[in-house]
Amino acid sequence: MSERFDVVVVGSGAAGLATALGARGANVALLTRGVFGLDGASCWAQGGIAAALGPGDSPAQHALDTLNAGSRLNNRTAVRWLAESAPESITWLQSMGMQFDHYAGRLALGREGAHSFPRIVHAGGDATGAELMRALRLTVSRAPNIKVFEFSEVERLLVAQKHVLGVAARTARGERFQLMAAHTVLATGGSGQLYRYTTNPIECDGTGLALARQVGAETSDLEFVQFHPTALAARPDARSEPEQLTLISEALRGAGAKLVNEQGRRFMLSAHELQELAPQDVVARAVWQEIESGQRVFLDARSLGDAMRMRFPSIFTACVSQAIDPRRDLIPVVPAAHYQMGGIRVDLHSQSSVKGLYAVGEVASTGVHGGNRLTGSGLLECISFGRELGGRLARSGLGIPALQAENLVAADAARNAPVNDAMVLGRLKNLMWTYVGIVRTPEGLRGALEQLQLLEKRCLDGSRVLTQLSVARMIAEAALKRASSAGAHYVIPEAARRSASAWNAVA
């Protein structure tokens, strides 16, 4: 089966839906691996969206905070545009029916790490992502120009004369089809599932990066992987580790929760002048160091009392499910892979280095985040860049170029995954966590690359884990090329790194 559209969007998180909705007047195909709007990281987002809306604040100050958090490795033009677009994006979301939290009749603004003003808008306390996706899903479902393909996975991009002209995909039942379009947008999310500990859902395994690389698209800044400092630690008596850890939002620290070790010491007092509200890479390394030294780490939110249940209902429920009452108990936490700042290199219009191929959201490298993402910028980037891209594509020429299409052939026949794929994936996750994680060494990165290459040789062509291995290798290679520390990429000599045994024991 083959269908023609003006725009094909791969992925149905905030970036994908914003792109599809922005493309008014165009015939849009929206393809996703599960239930649209529910099968990625966006719906799990607890943190809010940053916008300079409060007294004394300004887009210029928002941009400055973004540059400082990103170790000034950001694309300044992209940062300025994103900060200036933020208030309008909030207004657009409200027009979509999104219900933000209010206080005294105005949008409630919270302050979080590395922000100089309160400028984070939330919904449902700690359920911003769920409310965002509810509003966007409802709007998409009513849009007559958008056709949704659920439970479908892209196997490869269709290319003719170095121009992407759509996708070859397969349904969950193994049925193959092609979607042809003048413009193909990858909005597939991040790659946190390549790590042993992550807050990302199963779909975030770097597939978009692999698809782009297969057609020669450039990538950048893959070494910058943000590790959230506070994910809910699994119970010590748990039989197995969950594939996705529950995020304990930074907003909890913004509301007054403190980080302590099992001795009760607030170690962030000596780690950074902003203490618990330091940039996330700083906090994550401080937590990592405590765990490396044999300490367990906790969030103390007891000062919030009953307000904990009202302001952070999702976190409260997750804690209770682990037999933790955060009103009287400390919350055990560990760092976890959370967000990839780099990705497919794109220009200010989300265009990749390959004609007809675009990227938006976490899979894209816009330069906005630099070496470390500022809190509240992730969903903002998805919405602002997605809207702009969709609108621009709808205004451009929508006809499929008249190219020779000899390369537009059906995908290879389906193949069952080999029995050892699960074991290889487990080994991959441990390698990435140990050697391409929060603290890295040149020796560890070289060793990881050697092991990843050996694992690739054990996998059959076409297996998902082979794709995941290729993306993991891309990240490790990028990390090895950047010799000095910057942002979330923290590299030290091998002799300076302590044994990982303490970490493995408690995490």
Of 192, 204, 242, nearest to 488 by C-alpha is 192
For residues 328 and 319, what is the distance between their CA atoms, to the nearest angstrom?
11
Averaged pLDDT, 88-100: 98
Lowest mean pLDDT among 7-11, 166-170, 422-426: 422-426
For residues 383 and 95, what is the distance between their CA atoms, to the nearest angstrom?
13
How much is the pLDDT for 295? 94
How much is the pLDDT for 496? 73
* Gyration radius of the chain's alpha carbons: 22
* Contacts of 159 by beta carbon, 8 Å cutoff, 6+ apart: 165, 215, 407, 408
Output the six-digit token pair for 448.
């990881």
pLDDT in tens, 343-353: 999 999 999 99
What pairing do the DSSP bridges indicate for beta strands 343-345 and 364-365?
parallel
If 0-12 CB within 10 Å is exposed, 13-18 middle and 19+ buried, where does residue 8 land?
Answer: buried
Averaged pLDDT, 427-456: 96
Residue 417 pLDDT more than 90?
A: no
Q: What is the CATH number of domain 228-337?
A: 3.90.700.10
What b/e readout covers 83-111, taking b as 16+ CB neighbours within 10 angstroms?
A: bbbbeebbebbeebebebbeeeeebbbbb
Output the six-digit token pair for 370.
């630099």
CATH architecture for residues 421-506: Up-down Bundle (1.20)
pLDDT in tens, 226-249: 999 999 998 776 667 788 999 998
Averaged pLDDT, 10-15: 98
Helix axes 377-395, 14-22, angle to 10 degrees: 30
- Residue matched to tokens 């780099």: 342
What are the residue boundaries of the structural domains of the chain, listed by start? 2-46+130-223+341-395, 228-337, 421-506
For residues 240 and 234, what is the distance between their CA atoms, to the nearest angstrom?
9
What DSSP assignment string belongs to 202-253? Answer: TT-SSHHHHHHHHTT--EE-TT-EEEEEEEEPPPTT-SS--SSPPB--HHHH
* Sign of the torsion angle spanned by Cα atoms 192, 197, 200, 201: positive
Hey, what CATH topology would domain 2-46+130-223+341-395 get? FAD/NAD(P)-binding domain (3.50.50)
Residue 403 pLDDT more than 60?
A: no
Output the six-digit token pair for 194.
């390549």
Residue 120 pLDDT more than 70?
A: yes
